[in-house]
Amino acid sequence: MIINNTYLKVSKTALLFIGCFAIVYFSASCERDDICPEDAATTPQVIIKFIDFVTALDINQPVDLEVRSADPAITDVISDVTSLDSILIPLKTDASITQLIFTTNATSEDESLIRRDTIDFLYTPQEEYVNSACGFRVNYLGLEVEFTRDNSNIDFDEDKNWIRNIIVQQRDITDETNAHVLFLH
């Protein structure tokens, strides 16, 4: 009788241990939160909207647009910017200036159709903690967008350039909800 009870108790104890072990093990494995979710508010990109210069109201999609960094070390083109009324543009997170070249009719066979503008984005990058999975993000504060040509109106060359005016709508880039910059062309 005593022996029976003892075995009963041993098995009960063993069960309890296995139970404890299982709880700890599964809770530890479910705990992983180290993947940054796609919808997390990480570093925002600049939203540029293309507006008709004449009406200053209507959306005017640039034809065959190509955006690339003016930095000769980067040869790639910023992808997915063709034929959209607004585009998302990444800025450098470790500098206070990003120089980008915007080209229309970029893939045209006829060289005379290609129009090009080099634009400076000036800002103060501000680092901000997100969470343990995403790490940090950067907000771009006090954004100024300038043509590299000295005077945008006088120096506009119809045979070379296509952007006539730039309006910064939101100077602190902290989210991706509204257009930050308008390009008039």
Partner 1 sequence: MRTYFFYISILLCGVISAQEEKEKEEEKKITARDTLPPAEKYGFRVGVDIGRLIRTVLSEDNDDTNDEYTGFEILGDYRIYKNYYLAAEIGNESLLRNEENISVEGAGSYARIGADYNAYNNWYGMQNSIYVGLRYGFSTFNQTLNSYKIFNNSDYFPVPVRNERIEVDSLTASWVEFILGIKVETFKNLYLGANISLRRLLSEKTPDRFDNLFVPGFGRTNDYSSYNVGYTYSISYLIPFVKKKR
Length of the chain: 185
- Distance (Å, whole) CA 56 – CA 43: 30
For tokens 């997170």, name the residue. Answer: 93
Query: Least CB distance from residue 156 to partner 1, whole Å?
Result: 28
Of 54-62, 128-136, 143-151, 153-161, which segment contacts partner 1 by CB under 8 A?
A: 128-136
Residue from the set 75, 107, 112, 132 that interacts with partner 1 by CB under 8 A: 132
Answer whether 16's CB lies under 8 Å from 8's CB: no
Mark the segment that binds partner 1 (CB under 8 A) among 11-19, 48-56, 104-112, 148-156.
11-19
What burial letters (b/e) apply to 92-129, b meaning 16+ CB within 10 Å? beeeeebbbbbbbbbeeeeeeebbebbbebebebeeee
In whole angstroms, give the CA distance from residue 77 to residue 66: 7
Binder to partner 1 among 48, 87, 119, 138 (CB under 8 A)? 138
Question: Smaller CB distance to partner 1: residue 113 or 135?
Answer: 135
Q: Which residues bind partner 1 (CB under 8 A)?
A: 2-3, 6, 9-10, 13-14, 16-18, 20-21, 23-25, 27-28, 31, 33-36, 40, 42-43, 45, 69, 74, 76, 78, 88, 90-94, 98, 127, 129-138
